[in-house]
C-alpha cells in the first residue's frame, strides 16, 4: 500500500510531532556514533595523539616558513 501524499498546509500539532521525531532520531544517531567511537578507548587515544602530532607538525612548518619578525615579538 502506498501512503497518501498530502499537499498544502500541515497542522501545527503534526509539525510539532514531526519535529520531535526528527530531533529524537538525531539524538539517537549522535549517541550511537559517540558510543561506537568510545567503545575502543585505545582507538580514541590513538586518534587524539595522532591529531595532536599533526597539529604540532603543521604549526612547526608554518613557523619555519614565516619570517622571524612575525613570530618573535622581541625583535
pLDDT in tens, 17-67: 989 999 988 888 888 887 877 777 778 788 889 999 999 999 998 888 766
Whole-prediction pTM: 0.39
Which triple of cell numbers denotes residue 16? 510539532
Contact indicator for 64, 57 with CB cutoff of 8 Å: no
Contact indicator for 44, 38 with CB cutoff of 8 Å: yes
pLDDT-based confidence at residue 75 (cuts at 50, 70, 90) = low
User: Among 36, 32, 54, which Cα is nearest to 44's?
Assistant: 36
DSSP assignment of 44-70: HHHHHHHHHHHHHHHHHHHHHHS-HHH
Amino acid at each position: 500500500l502506498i501512503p497518501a501524499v498530502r499537499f498544502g498546509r500541515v497542522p501545527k500539532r503534526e509539525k510539532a510531532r514531526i519535529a520531535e521525531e526528527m530531533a529524537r532520531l538525531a539524538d539517537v544517531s549522535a549517541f550511537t556514533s559517540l558510543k561506537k567511537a568510545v567503545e575502543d578507548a585505545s582507538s580514541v587515544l590513538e586518534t587524539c595523539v595522532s591529531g595532536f602530532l599533526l597539529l604540532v607538525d603543521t604549526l612547526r612548518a608554518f613557523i619555519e616558513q614565516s619570517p622571524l619578525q612575525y613570530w618573535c615579538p622581541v625583535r
